[in-house]
C-alpha cells in the first residue's frame, strides 16, 4: 500500500499536469488576432449562401421523395399567406 506522503506527491503531480493542460487549452482557444469586418462579412455571406443551397436541395428532395407531404405543406403555406 502506498503511504500518505506518496499519494500526496502523486496528487500534486497530477494537479500540476492538469494546470498545464488547462493553460495549453486556454492558449489554443484564445483568438490570435481579431477578424476584420470585411473578412467576417465574407464569412457570413458564404455561410448564408451555403445554407440557402442546402435548404433548396432539401426542398427538392422532399418533393421527389414525399410528394403528398409536399402538397400538404404547400396547402398549409397557402392558408397561412391567405390569412394575412
Task: Evaluate whether 70 touches 63 at the Cβ level (below 8 Å).
Answer: yes
Q: What is the mean pLDDT of residues 63-79?
A: 90
- Whether the CB-CB separation of 62 and 69 falls below 8 Å is answered with yes
For residue 28, the SS3 value is helix
Residue boundaries of the structural domains of the chain = 1-30, 34-84
Find the helix packing angle between 37-65 and 67-83, rounded to 10°: 120
pLDDT digits (tens, 9 = 90+) for 23-53: 988 887 766 666 566 676 777 778 888 888 9
Amino acid at each position: 500500500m502506498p503511504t500518505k506522503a506518496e499519494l500526496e506527491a502523486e496528487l500534486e503531480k497530477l494537479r500540476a499536469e492538469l494546470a498545464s493542460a488547462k493553460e495549453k487549452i486556454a492558449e489554443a482557444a484564445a483568438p490570435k488576432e481579431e477578424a476584420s469586418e470585411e473578412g467576417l462579412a465574407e464569412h457570413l455571406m458564404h455561410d448564408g449562401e451555403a445554407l440557402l443551397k442546402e435548404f433548396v436541395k432539401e426542398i427538392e428532395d422532399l418533393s421527389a421523395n414525399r410528394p403528398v407531404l409536399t402538397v400538404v405543406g404547400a396547402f398549409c403555406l397557402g392558408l397561412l399567406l391567405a390569412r394575412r
